[in-house]
Amino acid sequence: MAGFTKVMKGTPFTQKTFPCKSCGASLVFSADDVALKCEYCGAINYLYPPRLPIYEQDLDKALARIETSPRYDLQAPREIKCPVCAATFTLEPHTRSTRCPYCNAPIVTNLDIFMPLAPESLLPFKIDQKKAKEIFRKWVGSLWFAPSGLEKYTRSDARFEGIYLPYWTFDADTTTHFQGYRGDTYYERVSRRVFIDGRERIVEEMEPRIEWTPVQGEVQRHFDDILIGATKTLPRKLADSLQPWDLENLIPYDDKYLSGFESETYSVALDDGFDYAKEYMAFVVREAVRARIGGDHQKISYMQIYHDNKSFKYILLPVWTAHFQYKKREYRFAINARTGTIKGERPYSSWKIFFALLFALILLGTLFFMNEHPEAVGDFLDNVRVLRISF
């Protein structure tokens, strides 16, 4: 049950900014400089992430701890006071960092201390907003059958938001016991009675048959860093389609990297996240079992997967997202802010598709006609006096 505990009651919800040493204005993380940069005077404060290994956490232990840990009511409205302009405003339930809606000051909150788990590592933004917009423009320009003017339209309308999205990564060793059948194709000579030119003949043919042999065994497989989106802000399909990520470059979590960006705490629970990972593992294991059974065909009648040495990481990954409205419908897209990979929803022009189909049909019809009536084509070409061709 959600609710505040004694510890929670005593712990204030706080927020901070990172003031510039030169002028006192707010510093934000700059992807270009890989540093905190003053939005007002341009002063740069370099960041030196500690060269610490990123540890995996034991999954079972964490799940047991979450089970007994107090739960913070995420749905309770959180009022915060902007440290710069003193205006009060309410945060969305999962928001860890944002900008003040009144003075645009970058604000990072201490939301994570109210959660059973806090992020341990992140990948900083590598692609800035300007570059993200460029990627978006190119993408829109490259879309087949997009409505005319969409490019111009999206240029003004799409609002870009840089956000650190929460993800789970899971590791596990799997042992799978299976039973099934291997099917080997062989050919059998069969005699068939046929009529050729009205006369009966006996023809010999080779016909395929399958011989099934029962097989059972064990398959072992290690999984490393299965990535599961832990946000509900973005559809799972979109959040998971931004792979691959350069996870080898993860650095220890530091809230300075969040300054100026939106960021969220997880809204897909750890155990639910692992269930998604299990689905993925089962899919991969099934293919491995098929390969082990061998032969030309495989049937799996029984399969039991055991997961050992389960571990996880809770990480934040940088994404540019935006949505634009086109003819009263919302279209969303997202950009991997490390690699520039863009994925999204897009409108189609039904007129462009209609004319493309019409053109294809006319072309097909013409080719068919030319094939069936070569003389007509010849006559036609004679008439227009282009070339004299005999078919």
* CB nearer to Zn ion: pick between 80 and 146: 80
Does residue 84 belong to the site contacting Zn ion (CB under 5 A)? yes
Taking the CA atoms of 70, 74, 76 and 79 in sequence, report the sign of the dihedral they define: positive
Question: Which of left, alpha, beta for 24 (phi over 0: left; psi -120 to 50: alpha)?
Answer: left
* CB nearer to Zn ion: pick between 44 and 74: 44
Q: Closest distance between Zn ion and the C-beta of residue 17, in Å?
A: 9
* Near Zn ion by CB under 5 A: residue from 80, 82, 226, 258: 82
* CB nearer to Zn ion: pick between 103 and 203: 103
Number of residues that bind Zn ion (CB under 5 A): 15
Q: Closest distance between Zn ion and the C-beta of residue 40, in Å?
A: 5
Query: Which DSSP symbol is given to 93?
Result: T
- Residue 197 has a CB neighbour count (10 Å cut-off) of 5
> What is the length of the chain?
391
Give backbone dihedrals phi and psi of 327, rounded to 5 degrees, phi first.
50, 50
Gap between the Cα atoms of 316 and 111, Å rounded: 14
Q: Which stretch binds Zn ion (CB under 5 A): 13-21, 29-37, 303-311, 339-347?
A: 13-21
Q: Tokens for 98, please give them.
A: 């944002």
Gap between the Cα atoms of 91 and 38, Å rounded: 24
Q: Closest distance between Zn ion and the C-beta of residue 46, in Å?
A: 15
Whether the CB-CB separation of 122 and 97 falls below 8 Å is answered with no
Whether the CB-CB separation of 82 and 99 falls below 8 Å is answered with no
H/E element, 193: strand 161-196
Q: Which stretch binds Zn ion (CB under 5 A): 83-91, 175-183, 221-229, 233-241?
A: 83-91
* CB nearer to Zn ion: pick between 99 and 182: 99
Tell which positions 251-310 bind Zn ion, by CB under 5 A.
none
Tell which positions 20-79 bind Zn ion, by CB under 5 A.
20, 22-23, 25, 38, 40-41, 43
Does residue 105 belong to the site contacting Zn ion (CB under 5 A)? yes
Q: Closest distance between Zn ion and the C-beta of residue 107, in Å?
A: 8
Q: Which stretch binds Zn ion (CB under 5 A): 48-56, 99-107, 212-220, 233-241?
A: 99-107
Nearest to 233 by CA among 169, 168, 164: 164
Q: Closest distance between Zn ion and the C-beta of residue 39, in Å?
A: 8
Whether the CB-CB separation of 303 and 278 falls below 8 Å is answered with no
* CB nearer to Zn ion: pick between 14 and 216: 14
Q: Which stretch binds Zn ion (CB under 5 A): 92-100, 143-151, 345-353, 366-374?
A: 92-100
Does residue 101 belong to the site contacting Zn ion (CB under 5 A)? no
Give backbone dihedrals phi and psi of 43, rounded to 5 degrees, phi first.
-60, 140
Q: Closest distance between Zn ion and the C-beta of residue 355, in Å?
A: 52
Q: Closest distance between Zn ion and the C-beta of residue 101, in Å?
A: 8
* CB nearer to Zn ion: pick between 107 and 319: 107
* Near Zn ion by CB under 5 A: residue from 55, 102, 186, 348: 102
H/E element, 97: strand 95-99
Q: Closest distance between Zn ion and the C-beta of residue 79, in Å?
A: 13
Residue that is written with structure tokens 């540093």 in the block: 35
- Which string of DSSP letters, residue by residue, matches 234-280? S-HHHHHTT----GGG-EE--GGGGTTSEEE---S-HHHHHHHHHHH
Report the interface residues with Zn ion, using CB under 5 A. 20, 22-23, 25, 38, 40-41, 43, 82, 84-85, 100, 102-103, 105
